[in-house]
Every structure is written in structure tokens, then in C-alpha cells.
Amino acid sequence: MMTSSEAEPTTSPEERRGWGGRRGSAFITLGFMALGAVLVTVGAWIMGAHAENVLAPEAAKPMSVSVTPLTMLDGYEVERRFMGRIEASRTADLSFDVPGQVLKVLVDEGDRVAEGDTLAILDTRLLDAEAAQLDAHRQSIEARLAYAEKALKRSNALSDQGFNSSDQRENALANRDATSADIAEIEAQRAAVAVRRDKSTLKAPFAARVSAVHIEGGETVNPGTPAIRLVDIESPEFRVGLPLSIDVDAHPVARAIIDGVTTPARLRSTRPEIDARTRTRSAVYEIDTLPGLATGQSAVLSMTQHVDERGAWVPTSAIEASSGSLWQVLIVDDGIVRSAAIEILHAESDRVYVRGSFREGDQLIDRGPQRVTPGQHVRVAEGK
């Protein structure tokens, strides 16, 4: 049988103090944990109450875009330009038809002359002497003719009285007729002298400008020797070579651009043959006279050609590069952006003519397409 000292182990005072310290630490830890839980609960409640008082942020408004309704066309007009040159409608290399010595040249190169103006004169003193000689000869023949007329009258009177033979009468008549023929010959020679005198004066056949003067005063010239060259400046022509693809007759009126000045050009004629070197056909247009216009001057013919191709004009600010080498525009369809592939047919400074996957009336984003992407919700700017 065990004694009481064996049944209950004996605890020393030091052991009792250790256990008591550990229990105190545990209580302190549990207290802090409980306090932390309370603080967390209270903080969560406060934050929840504060969150209920904060308004939810508004949803972002769709971006505003500028649009233009697309208008479909059956074709477009394109300006075509071709280089040509100014020519005189008429040129003339004038010369004297009779030989002689140049008495006076009345014009210089560059002078303007009117139709009928005198340009140069030959010395006509020999012609004047010849004309005087013919006049004197005519007077002599006229005196003989008067005598022949009187002789014929006497012969007729004697024949009527039976004192003159028929042969004598016929001789008197023949003498009178021969003398009359001599006068006619003198008149013909006198007319020839007048013609030579007239041809000794060189006159302008039309209003023109003097291009060249080949003779000088005192020089002896022969018939046909080039004397003065004239070019018509009142109605200049514009000659230009056009490709065979251009229907010249469909463009009776075009525009000539000369040193930056634009003037109407009216089709006058076309050559029936083709230039073997350039493979073009020459067309001649009439143009108005401009100050300082010179023959041989370069000019540009501008004409408007219609191209049959269905499409639409869009501003260059509306197009953007797509994948590869393709181009696209953006369309607003029920507030959503979609892309439309396009092909550029013709480009100008601020617009292009295109065809593509769009329809009449589609709302084209005409500015800043890079700000939006296909599928994005947008709103059309007011006034559009």
C-alpha cells in the first residue's frame, strides 16, 4: 500500500513560478488577438459604410468623330497636259518679181506691219525713162494715125466719084489699121512698164511682224531673191502632238498655258497621218494673241478627260494604310467603326478618287481615322 508521499509528486516552488508565468503570457497573447479581431471588424464596417457613400464612376462617353456621307459617281474628270509650241498661222518669204537696185528698205526686224504697208522699194528711174520713151513714141504714132485717117477719107471720096481704084482705097484702109495696131502695142508696153513699177514696191500681204530682212539699200536683187520674211501674229497657232488614245474631236476647246497665263485654245485642224517618231497625231489650236508671244515658244495644252469608273471622292485625310500595300477608310455604321478596303484610281492634292467596299451614303470618317479602330463605339460630331 502506497503512502501519500508516493501518490502525489512533490512540486518545488520554482516549478510553480514557471507555470504561472507561462499562463500569464498566453492570456496576454489571447487578449491581443481578440483586440486585433475587434479592430479589424470595426475597420471593415467603417470602410463598408464609406464605400456606400461614394458614387460609382460614370461610363466613358464614346469618342466624337467627323463624318461625311459618301456620294457614288459614275466617273471622274482628270486633267491631261501635253507640251507643244507656238507657231505663226501664216509665214511669207517675200521677194521682188523684177530685177533692180534697192532704193529704200522701210522696215526693221521685229516691226509690226499692217496689210498693204510698203516694206521696200526698188529704183524705178529706168522704168520712168522707158515710160517716157513709150509716151513719145505713142504721140508719133497718133500723128501718123491722124494722117492715115485723113488719107482714108480722101480715098473713099475719090472712090465714090470714080477717080480712085479699089486698091488705093484698100491701101489707105490697111495703113490706118496698121497705125492703130501700133498704138495698141505701145499701150501694151506702157502697161507692162506700169506693172514692173508696181512690182518694184514690196508690200505686206497681211498684218504681221517682220521676222527677217535680207536686203539693204543700194543692193541689186534678182527676181526671187529672199528680201523680207513675215510671220502672222494676229492669229497664232498652237501645235501639239496628242497620243492616239485622245479623241481630239471630243475636245474642240481646251486651254493653253503660256508662261503661266491660261488662254482658250480652239481646235482648228488635225493631221491625218501619225508622226513615225513620236507616234502622236498633230493637232492645231487657235489661241488669242498675248503680249510678248513669240513663234517657237513652248506652251502646255491642258484638257479635261472623263474616265468611266464608278467610285467616290474622299479627302486624303480620310485614308490610311492597311495591311501590305493596301489602303482603307473607316465607316461609321450604327455608331460602330468598320473598315472598308479601297483602291486609289486617281489622286489630286487634297482628295483621291477611290473604289472599294462602301455604299452610297456611308458615313465616312473624314479626319483622324488613326484615332479610332474598327469595332469601336463612336458618336458622330454635331453638325455632321
Sorting pLDDT into bands at 50, 70 and 90, what band is 30?
Answer: low
Cβ–Cβ < 8 Å for 69, 363: yes
- Extract the C-alpha cell encoding 276: 513615225
* Eight-state DSSP code of residue 323: S
Sorting pLDDT into bands at 50, 70 and 90, what band is 25?
Answer: low
Residue pLDDT, tens place only, 32-90 = 666 666 565 656 666 655 545 545 455 567 889 999 999 999 999 999 999 999 998 88
Q: What pLDDT is recorded for position 26?
A: 57
124-197 has the same fold as 64-74+309-381: no
Q: Please determine, for residue 216, whether its predicted confidence score (pLDDT) is greater than 90.
A: yes
Q: In sequence order, which residues have a C-beta less than 8 Å from that of residue 202 and are 6 or more positions away?
A: 94, 96, 118, 119, 120, 121, 227, 228
Residue pLDDT, tens place only, 352-372 = 999 999 999 999 999 989 999
Residue pLDDT, tens place only, 318-348 = 999 887 778 999 999 999 999 999 999 999 9
Q: Cα–Cα distance between 356 and 140 in angstroms, integer?
A: 102
Q: Cα–Cα distance between 63 and 337 in angstroms, integer?
A: 11
Considering only the C-alpha atoms of the chain, give the largest distance between any 2 of them, rounded to a whole number of Å.
236
Which residue in 360, 361, 357 sits closest to 374, CA to CA? 357
Q: What pLDDT is recorded for position 29?
A: 62
Q: Cα–Cα distance between 97 and 89 in angstroms, integer?
A: 24
Q: In sequence order, which residues have a C-beta less than 8 Å from that of residue 188 and are 6 or more positions away?
A: none
The counts of H helices and E strands in the chain are: 4, 22
Sorting pLDDT into bands at 50, 70 and 90, what band is 168?
Answer: low
Q: Please determine, for residue 201, whether its predicted confidence score (pLDDT) is greater than 50.
A: yes
Q: In sequence order, which residues have a C-beta less than 8 Å from that of residue 162 and are 6 or more positions away?
A: none
Percent of the chain exceeding pLDDT 70 equals 79
Residue pLDDT, tens place only, 258-270 = 998 999 999 999 9
203 has which bridge partners?
118
Cβ–Cβ < 8 Å for 145, 180: yes
DSSP letter string, 11-52: --HHHHHHHHHHHHHHHHHHHHHHHHHHHHHHHHHHHHHHHH
Cβ–Cβ < 8 Å for 275, 241: yes
* Eight-state DSSP code of residue 377: B
Q: What pLDDT is recorded for position 286?
A: 92
Q: What pLDDT is recorded for position 185?
A: 86
Q: Please determine, for residue 7, whether its predicted confidence score (pLDDT) is greater than 70.
A: no
Q: What pLDDT is recorded for position 22?
A: 53
Which residue bears the cell 497625231?
Answer: 281
Q: Is 299 helix (H, G, I), strand (E, B) or coil?
A: strand
Q: What pLDDT is recorded for position 223?
A: 93
Q: What pLDDT is recorded for position 4?
A: 42
Domain range summary for the chain, segments of one domain joined by +: 64-74+309-381, 81-89+234-307, 124-197
- Extract the C-alpha cell encoding 247: 479623241
Q: Cα–Cα distance between 287 and 308 in angstroms, integer?
A: 30
Q: How many CB atoms lie within 10 A of CB 195?
A: 12
Sorting pLDDT into bands at 50, 70 and 90, what band is 150?
Answer: confident
Q: Cα–Cα distance between 294 and 280 in angstroms, integer?
A: 24
CATH topology of domain 124-197: Helix Hairpins (1.10.287)
End-to-end Cα distance, the chain:
113
Q: What pLDDT is recorded for position 32?
A: 60
Residue pLDDT, tens place only, 229-253 = 999 877 889 999 999 888 888 889 9
Dihedral of CA atoms 294, 300, 303, 304 in degrees, nearest 10, equals -140
Give φ, ψ of 26 to 5 degrees. Answer: -65, -40
| pTM for this predicted structure | 0.57
Q: In this structure, is the dihedral angle defined by the CA atoms of residues 91, 97, 101 and 102, taken in order, positive or negative?
A: negative
Q: How many CB atoms lie within 10 A of CB 245?
A: 7
Sorting pLDDT into bands at 50, 70 and 90, what band is 6?
Answer: very low
Type of residue numbered 331? I
Q: What pLDDT is recorded for position 293?
A: 83
Q: In this structure, is the dihedral angle defined by the CA atoms of residues 223, 229, 234 and 238, taken in order, positive or negative?
A: positive
Q: Is CATH 2.60.40.10 the right assignment for the domain spanning 64-74+309-381?
A: no
CATH number of 81-89+234-307: 2.40.30.170
Cβ–Cβ < 8 Å for 120, 104: yes
Residue pLDDT, tens place only, 266-314 = 999 998 888 888 899 999 999 988 887 888 899 999 999 889 999 999 9
Which residue in 227, 203, 230, 207 sits closest to 92, CA to CA? 230
Cβ–Cβ < 8 Å for 40, 48: no
